[in-house]
Amino acid sequence: MHGIEPWAYLRDLFHLLPDWPQNRALQLAPAYWKQTLEHSEAQRRLDNNSLRRALLAFVR
């Protein structure tokens, strides 16, 4: 519905969620996901996650 790949969204959401500020939780909703990923903070958090890097390397 929002033009995002569901499994990639869930994978990245679960990596961001533990450290994401509660007052910005709406940014993690599917409707705002593409905008959130454009921010350097979200990209930095995802890039620094070693489990995510391992999963991406495994899938490729």
pLDDT of residue 31: 95
Q: What is the largest distance, in Å, between two alpha-carbon atoms of the chain?
A: 35
Task: pLDDT tens for the chain, 60 residues: list them.
Answer: 789 999 999 999 999 999 899 999 999 999 999 999 998 889 898 888 888 888 778 876
Query: How wide is the angle at C-alpha 50 spanned by C-alphas 54 and 27, nearest 5°?
Result: 105
